[in-house]
């Protein structure tokens, strides 16, 4: 993309809330007849019936996003409970939901749960979704005082993704303008980026010199868009490759001097794309990253040959999170053990006459020594754990900084990056 068409992005963006209109909520849930709901919504938002143009672009897509969010809100309502009963499971509250894994859409990690009893309302977050149950973590006070009384429970999904989409709609209309959204003619550079041509034998010519296709299995209709992309005559225009399954769209993807982010509808298809890129040998180690979720790492679903290409940051974050949880649990156990030792000592001192009359001095002393030794052992393990945690954290951060400097130095030596760009990246990071 040319420098004159780049948009300056701030590090912190005031995205805004973009709350759902109350009138849309009332119209959506006022009737069970879809036709009546559609008529009411079209009456409130006339842009839905108009032909898409530059004047109604923002309002129309905002409305469509609101409708999509309303549909998600209606779908998640089926999990609400008037009388929800929890069972305690370590630091979580367990809620049984029949056929949860078979339902679509299902609850996911990060969804919000609001529990309400006679006293007040509590907010929790789903931490684990299993086959027929979920693990929720509420406020610490609520979980400590929970006495297995039924409460009213409602579920909500995070709205941040919709906030970003609403913000993107506003920014596209404001910064890219009419010519980008509704182009009337193609904007050309006036000269090709590379003097690429296709001859009658469907071979590619660069400066009248024939070049060999890297992938000889591509057909002419796949070679043609590659030639257009390499010529680069059209300015700031995206290339969309479409076609039915099995037409080798994956092998046609190409980016010229830019990063390429490939999104797929499933995990298996992303694994296939990554495998094909590795087999072709077009990308070296470090140039290709397969982004994976923490759930795939936890369940061991990543293929063995893709392990070196996965993004290491989620794995490191997950390991450090697990270690942090263990340290918090160990800290609570150490505090509880110290309290038990203190309680034994206080009881012995409070009833010193009864202890002496029953000749229980040695028994109380042995009990106190046992409790204090256990407390000392837990405190020692906690100290070792904190030391290891801090050491691993410092090692990871130092490795990240050194690898960034090494990579930046390599890019500067090959004149792929300037010193100003490297310093700007380090300051921003």
Residues 46 and 133 in one domain: no
In a domain, 81, yes or no: no
In a domain, 155, yes or no: no
Q: Is the pLDDT of residue 246 over 70?
A: no
Residues 6+ apart with CB under 8 A from 408: 417, 422, 425, 426
> What percentage of residues in the chain have a pLDDT greater than 90?
6
Q: Could you tell me the pLDDT band of residue 66, with boundaries at 50, 70 and 90?
A: very high
User: Cβ distance 318 to 297 under 8 Å?
Assistant: yes
In a domain, 429, yes or no: no
| Token pair in block for residue 371 | 């409790």
More confident: 139 or 348: 139
Residues 297 and 319 in one domain: no
| Token pair in block for residue 367 | 């009990």
Residues 321 and 414 in one domain: yes
Q: Could you tell me the pLDDT band of residue 2, with boundaries at 50, 70 and 90?
A: very low
Q: Is the pLDDT of residue 251 over 70?
A: no
Residues 357 and 380 in one domain: yes
Question: For position 4, what pLDDT does the model report?
Answer: 43
Find residue 125's DSSP bridge partners.
112, 137
What's the CA angle centered on 254, arms 249 and 255, to 5 degrees?
145
Residues 410 and 325 in one domain: yes
In a domain, 113, yes or no: yes
Q: Tens digits of per-residue pLDDT, 78-110?
A: 899 998 888 888 888 999 988 887 777 788 888
Residues 320 and 300 in one domain: no
User: Cβ distance 118 to 154 under 8 Å?
Assistant: no
Residues 238 and 296 in one domain: no
| Token pair in block for residue 382 | 């906690």
Mean pLDDT of 203-221: 77
Residues 6+ apart with CB under 8 A from 77: 154, 155
User: Cβ distance 309 to 273 under 8 Å?
Assistant: no
| Token pair in block for residue 87 | 């069972």
In a domain, 428, yes or no: no
Residues 272 and 349 in one domain: no
Residues 390 and 406 in one domain: yes
Q: Is the pLDDT of residue 61 over 90?
A: yes
Question: For position 310, what pLDDT does the model report?
Answer: 60
The pTM assigned to this predicted structure is 0.54
Question: For position 194, what pLDDT does the model report?
Answer: 80
Mean pLDDT of 324-349: 71
Residues 204 and 324 in one domain: no
Please tell me the least confidently modeled range out of 53-57, 77-81, 156-160, 233-237: 233-237
Question: For position 64, what pLDDT does the model report?
Answer: 92
Counting Cα atoms < 13 Å in the Cβ hemisphere of 182 gives: 9
Q: Is the pLDDT of residue 3 over 50?
A: no
Range of the domain at 132: 86-149
What's the CA angle centered on 246, arms 243 and 247, to 5 degrees?
45
The long-range contacts involving 262-269, CB below 8 angstroms and separated by at least 24 positions, are: 267/296, 267/301
Give the other-Cβ count within 10 Å of 133's Cβ.
17
Residues 369 and 413 in one domain: yes
Question: For position 357, what pLDDT does the model report?
Answer: 54
Residues 120 and 232 in one domain: no
Question: For position 214, what pLDDT does the model report?
Answer: 72
In a domain, 59, yes or no: yes
3-state secondary structure of 135: strand
Q: Could you tell me the pLDDT band of residue 36, with boundaries at 50, 70 and 90?
A: confident
Overall domain count for the chain: 5
Question: For position 210, what pLDDT does the model report?
Answer: 81
In a domain, 80, yes or no: no
In a domain, 123, yes or no: yes
Integer Cα distance of 225 and 229 in angstroms:
6
Mean pLDDT of 212-228: 76
User: Cβ distance 146 to 93 under 8 Å?
Assistant: yes
More confident: 119 or 89: 89
Q: Could you tell me the pLDDT band of residue 411, with boundaries at 50, 70 and 90?
A: low
3-state secondary structure of 196: strand
């Amino acid at each position: 993309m040319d420098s004159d068409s780049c948009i300056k992005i701030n590090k912190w963006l005031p995205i805004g809330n973009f709350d759902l209109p109350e009138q849309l909520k009332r119209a959506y849930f006022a009737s069970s007849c879809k036709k009546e709901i559609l008529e009411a919504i079209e009456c409130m938002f006339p842009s839905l019936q108009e032909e898409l143009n530059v004047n109604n672009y923002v309002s129309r897509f905002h409305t469509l996003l609101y409708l999509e969010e309303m549909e998600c809100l209606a779908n998640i309502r089926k999990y609400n409970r008037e009388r929800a009963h929890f069972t305690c499971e370590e630091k979580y509250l367990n809620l049984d939901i029949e056929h949860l894994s078979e339902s679509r859409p299902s609850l996911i990690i990060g969804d919000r749960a609001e529990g309400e009893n006679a006293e007040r309302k509590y907010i929790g977050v789903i931490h684990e979704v299993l086959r027929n149950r979920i693990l929720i973590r509420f406020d610490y006070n609520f979980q400590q005082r929970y006495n297995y009384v039924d409460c009213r429970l409602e579920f909500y999904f995070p709205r941040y993704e919709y906030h970003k989409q609403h913000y993107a709609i506003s920014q596209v209309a404001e910064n890219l303008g009419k010519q980008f959204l509704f182009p009337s003619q193609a904007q050309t550079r006036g000269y090709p980026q590379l003097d690429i041509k296709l001859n009658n034998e469907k071979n590619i010519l660069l400066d009248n010199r024939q070049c060999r296709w890297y992938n000889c299995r591509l057909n002419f209709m796949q070679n043609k868009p590659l030639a257009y992309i390499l010529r680069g005559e059209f300015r700031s225009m995206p290339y969309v490759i479409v076609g039915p399954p099995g037409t080798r769209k994956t092998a046609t993807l190409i980016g010229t001097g830019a990063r390429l982010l490939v999104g797929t509808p499933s995990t298996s298809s992303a694994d296939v794309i990554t495998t094909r890129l590795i087999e072709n040998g077009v990308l070296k180690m470090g140039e290709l990253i397969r982004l994976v979720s923490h759930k795939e790492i936890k369940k061991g679903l990543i293929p063995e040959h893709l392990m070196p290409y996965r993004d290491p940051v989620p794995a490191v974050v997950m390991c450090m999170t697990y270690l942090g949880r263990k340290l918090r649990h160990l800290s609570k156990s150490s505090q509880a053990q110290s309290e038990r030792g203190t309680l034994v000592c206080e009881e012995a001192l409070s009833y010193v006459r009864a202890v002496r009359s029953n000749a229980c001095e040695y028994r109380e002393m042995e009990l106190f020594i046992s409790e204090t030794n256990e407390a000392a052992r837990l405190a020692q393990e906690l100290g070792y754990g904190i030391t290891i945690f801090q050491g691993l954290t410092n090692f990871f951060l130092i490795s990240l900084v050194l690898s960034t400097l090494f990579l930046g130095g390599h890019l500067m030596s090959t004149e792929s990056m300037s010193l100003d760009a490297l310093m700007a990246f380090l300051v921003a990071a």
